[in-house]
Amino acid sequence: MQRHKSVEKRAKTSKIANTVNRAGRSRINTAEKAVLNAKDKETATAALKTAVSVLDKSVKTGLIHQNKASNKKSSLSKAVNKLAK
């Protein structure tokens, strides 16, 4: 690694960004699993509301693309609707 101040700064900011992004992706996965592992419709609906909020916040911060969030919300909604049957 080069010994320039800008390179050292960039390495530091990249490390911080990596930590923030990893935490955000983990939050998305946790919310998604909560919906998919729900046993009854009431729990699943509450988990879906939380998951939609997490996905929307991730789009707002630029972690994921809006279309990816929409696809995830759609698939999670389908999973919740299947519980009713």
Q: What is the CA radius of gyration of the chain?
A: 17
C-alpha angle 52-55-58 in degrees, rounded to nearest 5: 150
Q: Is the pTM of this model over 0.85?
A: yes
Looking at residue 3, its pLDDT comes to 82
**What's the total number of domains in the chain?**
1
Looking at residue 1, its pLDDT comes to 63
Residue 48 lies in domain: 5-83
Sign of CA dihedral 59, 71, 27, 47: positive
CATH code of the domain covering residue 24 = 1.20.58.110
Rounded CA-CA distance 83/15 in Å is: 41
Residuewise pLDDT in 10s, the chain (85 residues): 678 999 999 999 999 999 999 999 999 999 999 999 999 999 999 999 999 999 999 999 999 999 999 999 999 999 999 997 6
Rounded CA-CA distance 3/15 in Å is: 17
